[in-house]
Amino acid sequence: MSRITARFLAGGVAVVLAATAFSSAAVADTAPAAPTGSAVVTESNAFLQSAAASGVVIVPLPNASVSYDGTTGLATSLPVTGGSINLKSYYGNASLDGSLLFVDLQTGRSVLFKQLAFSADRWRITGVPADGTDPVSLLKPGGTVAASQSGTTQNLTADNLTVDANGAKYLDAQLNTTFFTGGQKVGSFTFSFTG
């Protein structure tokens, strides 16, 4: 091979490699960002007092964050980690970070829910028991519900968050209690999703 042919070949390879690197960088820059937001479950003081009187405690675990207000109650914020959702059309799911541990101090039993999600299809907050694979519907937003969208951000507020009937049945069985009932008022719910 002559020197001129070798130079042209080396130059051509360099151009192809540079173009490939440039196009890979362009693809990486246009990849969609992961969704962000949060689901905030607020347990009213009335629910907290009723649960405590029955020996039931709900413990939010990382990466959930908790705050307390003497007027509104205990707010548990669960960060959005993934999913795709359309609130106004009632479809899709948003994955939530954190776990919820339900404990009955009188019976000494507990159940841990992981893989938390807000399902617009079911209009429920769901969780997968630590020893299971199928999600359990836990809580249902209701009452006065307002959904809105601005750009890629969707928001939902519900002034009445209740225990789902299937969730109540599951929790009562696992904790060996009769505390939970379908439709039991827990508090309120807010949800935001950007993505």
Which backbone phi and psi does 42 adopt, to 5 degrees? Answer: -110, 115
- Which sign does the torsion angle of CA 118, 123, 125, 128 carry? negative
Three-class DSSP category at 107: coil
Chain centre to alpha carbon of residue 123: 13
In this predicted structure, what is the pLDDT of residue 32?
A: 78
Q: Cβ(62)–Cβ(56) under 8 Å?
A: no
If you search the block for the tokens 């990849």, which residue do you land on?
A: 31
pLDDT tens digits, residue range 90-132? 999 999 999 999 999 999 999 999 999 999 999 999 999 999 9
pLDDT band at 2 (very low <50, low <70, confident <90, very high): low
pTM (global) more than 0.85: no
Task: Tokens for 43, please give them.
Answer: 């347990």
